[in-house]
Amino acid sequence: MSATATGETSKQTDTGRLTGLDGPAVLDFTQGWDYAPAPESAPAPIADSYGHFINGAFVDPIEGERFDTVSPSTEETLSSIANGSEADVAAAVAAAGEAQPTWAALPGKERAKYIFRIARRLQERAREFAVLETMDGGKPIKESRDVDIPLAAAHFFYHAGWADKLQYAFAGRTPKPVGVCGQIIPWNFPLMMAAWKLAPALACGNTCVLKPAETTPLTALRLGEIFQEIGLPPGVVNIVTGDGRAGAALVNHKDVNKIAFTGSTDVGKRIAKATAATDKTLTLELGGKSANIIFEDASIDQAVEGIIQGIYFNQGHVCCAGSRLFVQESIAEQVIAKLKIRMGSLRVGDPMDKNTDVGAINSRQQLDTIVKYLDKGRKEAPEFWESNGSPLPERGYWCRPSFFSGVQPSHTIAREEIFGPVLAVMTFRTPDEALSRANNTPYGLAAGVWTDKGSKIFEMARGLDAGVVWLNSYNKFDPASPFGGFKESGFGREGGLQGLRAYVKI
Ligand code: NDP
């Protein structure tokens, strides 16, 4: 950080940071501070091309189809990726089927050792993984470094602990593995989603076929390298890259016993239909339109941080994003004024810079979706405000953090998941009104409540139709804490004891 003026007689500079010509220097926090560039420099070599990871080895796609994975912040091609066909999926499922009885027969403490080694190796290579995640997905390096990779490792550590204690997790019962698990994950938290799905499955004696999202395959494939390094038996985890066709082939494969899916509600519904008349078990973690509710007795500055964290974290590509903000009418003006100031300090741009707060939108397609919602919102809502700080890079997919205020519950931007850095601000007068407006959505994934009254906290948490309710905080995750939704946000839980349940038959 570089400040330009010092001393008691300094006056306001061009950027207005320091005032106090006739008295002691006063820092003016309403103006921007300049940051020196702080690019992450850790090496994360990327091969020109990658195959699928099947039966412990990287193999070429059977039908030879490939696609490119592109950096959303530079639009450069990073690597050529195998495009999974039905035949590739069949090979992966066969490998998983063959490996499953031996893996399940291992004593729990032996399975735990493998899972523990995965966690350790992830920690040792954390910086490389963070760089790769940011290059492939566009999220700020400080988020990959401080959230995605540590949480992924934490999930493997946590579930390593359960592998030899399953009889205590389900006391009085004899938990058996489900078999072969097909796991389909999205692009917003690529490595973390892989860990959320693989770690409990492995702990319970299942084997897996993982299908990463088309735009973010690189960290899952690097995880394949870790499986080789730690000597995970071949076939226990298989990774088939590709688009929705590979996902659908996995869902429809007769030898897959369980499907775990995270992604859009539309695709989730299609998967629910496809598995309905089969003996496959299913868990769905789908979209959301989560409410972040600020009461007049809340600590306002803390709540404003919670709003920022809730909607602008990971460019708003978060299923549980606090995308509907409900502010008590008496403090609405104050909250909006403070929000604007805070948003003015958000740095949008090069995700490899350690000071960047908001990185690139994950893909051209997602940017187009967000722009469509912005256009619609401008027609619906009376007020629109976007942060307008640093200039955006010339190449790449960018969207400035913004909010609409005066939003009505019937507006499209208040009802549909935008999956971008766009907030819909609404007001309420009473706790009952806040509850009924917050619950007025087909989704039920998460919510945030900000107040200093304990009784109000419990009252609200009880009344909210949401799988997770954060109190005076937002976006807090822990492997021991179950995560998942109600209504169109899906069913089943990931994390904690509840998350293990989906991976055992009892
Ligand atoms: P999808 O639901 O299409 O993608 C999630 C995963 O499912 C990806 O691996 C995808 O492959 C795969 N997939 C796609 N079609 C099928 C299918 N028919 N059968 C099985 N698997 C399939 O999300 P999108 O990436 O298309 O994003 C669209 C919208 O979904 C976003 O704008 C956002 O609103 C929402 N979304 C929500 C997420 C959440 O966590 N709630 C996560 C991601 C998106 P591929 O990557 O090749 O498409």
**pLDDT tens-digit series, residues 43-91:** 999 999 999 999 999 999 999 999 999 999 999 999 999 999 999 999 9
Q: What is the number of the ligand 1 atom nearest to the C-alpha of 211?
A: 9
Indicate whether residue 416 lines ligand 1 (CB < 6 A). Answer: no
d(CA 476, CA 293): 16
d(CA 73, CA 288): 26
Ligand 1 midpoint to CA 490 (Å): 14
**pLDDT tens-digit series, residues 140-195:** 999 999 999 999 999 999 999 999 999 999 988 999 999 999 999 999 999 999 99
Q: What integer pLDDT is reported at residue 8 of this predicted model?
A: 35
Nearest to 34 by CA among 3, 74, 62: 3
Name residues whose C-beta falls within 8 Å of residue 136's C-beta, 6 or more positions apart in sequence: 69, 71, 78, 190, 215, 216, 217, 218, 219
Instruction: Provide the percentage of residues in the chain whose pLDDT is more than 90.
Output: 91
> Which residue has its alpha carbon closest to ligand 1 atom 38?
263
Structure tokens at 474: 């937002």
Name residues whose C-beta falls within 8 Å of residue 145's C-beta, 6 or more positions apart in sequence: 40, 126, 127, 130
Indicate whether residue 369 lines ligand 1 (CB < 6 A). Answer: yes
d(CA 370, CA 277): 36
Indicate whether residue 220 lines ligand 1 (CB < 6 A). Answer: no
Helix (H, G, I), strand (E, B) or coil at 491: strand
Indicate whether residue 269 lines ligand 1 (CB < 6 A). Answer: no
Residue bearing tokens 């059977």: 62
How sure is the predictor about 33, in pLDDT bands with cuts at 50, 70 and 90? low
pLDDT at 21 over 60: no
Ligand 1 midpoint to CA 130 (Å): 22
Q: What integer pLDDT is reported at residue 1 of this predicted model?
A: 35
pTM of the full structure: 0.93
- Is 204 tagged catalytic? no
> Which residue has its alpha carbon closest to ligand 1 atom 22?
244
Instruction: Classify residue 395 by its DSSP letter.
Output: S
